[in-house]
Amino acid sequence: MAAMTTVPSYTASIWVRMCHALPRLDFGMQMRDNLFVPDSWEYQQTLLVLSSLSAIALVISLLVVLSFLIHYCCCHRGDRSEGSEEEEDEDGSTGHGYSGKKGKGICCVTWVAVAAVTLCCVAIGIGFYGNSEANDGMYQLTSSLLTANYTLASIDLLISDTISGLQLSVSGPLASMEELFSGSKPFLVSTRNCRRLSENVISLLSSISLARPSVDAGLLGNDSGVSGASITPLTPVPPSVAPTVVPTSNLLPNPFSPGWAANTLMVNEDYRWLSYVLLLLLDLIVCLFILLGLAKQARWLLILMTVLAWLFLFLSWGSLGLETATVVALSDFCSDPNSFVLNSTQFNMGTSSDVLDYYLTCSRRMNSPFQQLLTQSQRALSNIHSHLSSLDRNALPQFPKAEKSLREVQQILNSTEGNFHQLVALLNCRGLNKDYIDSLKGLCYDGMEGLLYLSLYSFLSALAFTAILCALPGAWRSFPRTPNVSSNGNPGYESLPLTDRQSPPPSYSPSMLTGYGGNQSHPNPPHSRNLYSR
């Protein structure tokens, strides 16, 4: 089917156009078009090829981390044989075990790890923003679908009530009036005209393409058939909630109604949002504990965080592949949504394409496809009202028993005309088209932007965890061996010389010296004071 006219008030964003312009390759490395056909195996192949790029990036990350591990494990074995002598020299020079070339290496490894953790924290902030944007877009989409479902349900209810009321008047009071007016031909003709016009209105309303009764037109003369009729809105299924199981009940919409789609989207969005929040929080906790382990030089904590970093490395690249496929598929849909909606909708009548085009575009140059039906129905209702007014003026003085039936028909007609005016307003394209535009904006603007930010989060997070896994093994090797412990359980600094303790000798006041040695003679008191006052 040819591409549809651009939807008023909606234009594809620059991100949609850029992602839509990406080249598509299938498994045979053959170029494919970028039309959104989710049921096509060729189209699914192009998405899988794009997702496989993250798998290639994962392999590269693993090779980089493996090379660093080999560097730390194999190339520095000679350092362990000289470790004791170097540590003794370093301990004697600084007291902390870090000096010279090794101290520079320790500083470099630590700062690389800190920079990687900082990058991971930035990625987490981007992820929270993207998750919020995606949630806002899905909320707008579901709200618009629920509003459209309410409009369609209102149309369904108005048509059902109108048909039921007219059918009640045909089978009830009009039939009684025909029996009463059987002896007066003019009144009988007017009554039969009312019945014929009522049946005509029933037939016209039943032919509206937006709804289809699940009963045959021949059953319209049966009260139970009318009251049990199910008028199914003709609406497409959004691409993100394509059904996998076809319901067997005839009362369910086929395709499903916007209400079903909105409820499904809300449930799925709740799980998606919560999953990302938990992933981001766990990611943040890992980063904070890595910083804590570096600050405290806790080797066991860094070992535990390294294991979790491996897990998040795989999760980051995996989520990036899934997000890439989703972003590209969404850009293909958002670039020309009307074509997909028209191609995926099941039509019941030959005019259904025009009906759907009318609601999708809502152009002022287009006339409503229901204009003729509504005009004919309005004329029929006006003629019924004229006949009833004539019977009220002329027949009731001669047939007073017909007053009750006539008043019932007039009451049903007034209710029918009220429903009819509401139906005319709801069948106008502006309401449903606004819901359609709002749903597109929520999905293709906020939703698309949120998915792009989530993709950026996954990419930066994967890079950060790759750098962390490369730097943490070097950080393990840089940490000293546990400090010497004395017999009383405190760190053994007592064995160090006083000058190596980096603390001044104690000083005493003259009064303390006098009190300590008051009964002793000191041959050179000034010399003693000077000695202790240094």
Nearest to 431 by CA among 444, 422, 418: 422
pLDDT at 31 over 70: yes
Segment 277-302 mean pLDDT: 86
Whole-number CA gyration radius for the chain: 41
Segment 208-228 mean pLDDT: 39
Q: How confident is the model at residue 295 (pLDDT cuts 50, 70, 90)?
A: confident
Q: Is 133 exposed, middle or buried (0-12, 13-18, 19+ CB in 10 A)?
A: buried
Q: Is 49 exposed, middle or buried (0-12, 13-18, 19+ CB in 10 A)?
A: middle
Q: Give every CB contact of residue 273 below 8 A, 6+ residues apart in sequence.
A: 131, 134, 135
Q: How confident is the model at residue 152 (pLDDT cuts 50, 70, 90)?
A: confident
pLDDT averaged over the chain? 75
Distance CA(288)–CA(200), nearest Å, equals: 75
* Residue 507 DSSP SS3: coil
Distance CA(446)–CA(141), nearest Å, equals: 10
pLDDT at 35 over 50: yes
Q: Give every CB contact of residue 57 below 8 A, 6+ residues apart in sequence.
A: 317, 320, 462
How many other C-beta atoms are found inside a 10 Å radius of the C-beta of residue 174? 23
Bridge partners (DSSP) of residue 491 are: 485
Q: How confident is the model at residue 477 (pLDDT cuts 50, 70, 90)?
A: low
286-303 per-residue burial string, b: 16 or more CB within 10 A, e: under 16 = bbebbeebbeeeeeeebe
- Highest average pLDDT, of 62-71, 238-247, 497-506, comes from 62-71
343-363 per-residue burial string, b: 16 or more CB within 10 A, e: under 16 = ebbeeeeeebeebbbbbbbbe
pLDDT at 3 over 50: no
Segment 478-504 mean pLDDT: 50
pLDDT at 169 over 90: no
**Residue of higher predicted confidence among 507 and 436:** 436
Which pLDDT tens digit goes with each residue over 410-438?
Answer: 898 899 888 889 999 998 888 888 999 99
Q: What is the pLDDT of residue 446?
A: 92
Phi first, then psi: give them for residue 270, nearest 5 degrees.
-60, -45
Distance CA(155)–CA(234), nearest Å, equals: 12
Distance CA(331)–CA(22), nearest Å, equals: 10
Distance CA(145)–CA(379), nearest Å, equals: 34
**Tokens at residue 499, please?**
């000058």
Segment 373-387 mean pLDDT: 90
Phi first, then psi: give them for residue 231, nearest 5 degrees.
-95, 115
Q: Helical H runs in 366-402?
A: 371-394
pLDDT at 357 over 60: yes
Which pLDDT tens digit goes with each residue over 389-410?
Answer: 988 888 888 888 888 888 998 8
Which pLDDT tens digit goes with each residue over 132-141?
Answer: 999 999 999 8
Q: Is 507 exposed, middle or buried (0-12, 13-18, 19+ CB in 10 A)?
A: exposed
Segment 180-206 mean pLDDT: 88
Q: Percent of the chain scored above 90 by pLDDT? A: 22
> From residue 32, how far is each of 37, 44, 394 by CA, in Å?
12, 11, 76
Segment 291-315 mean pLDDT: 85
**Residue of higher predicted confidence among 138 and 472:** 138
Q: What is the pLDDT of residue 53?
A: 92
Q: Which of 61-75, 146-160, 261-275, 519-533 bottoms out in mean pLDDT, i.e. has the lowest?
A: 519-533
Segment 502-517 mean pLDDT: 53
| CB of 344 closer than 8 Å to CB of 6 | no
Q: What is the pLDDT of residue 476?
A: 64
Q: What is the pLDDT of residue 104?
A: 56
Q: Which of 92-101, 259-268, 294-303, 368-377 bottoms out in mean pLDDT, i.e. has the lowest?
A: 92-101
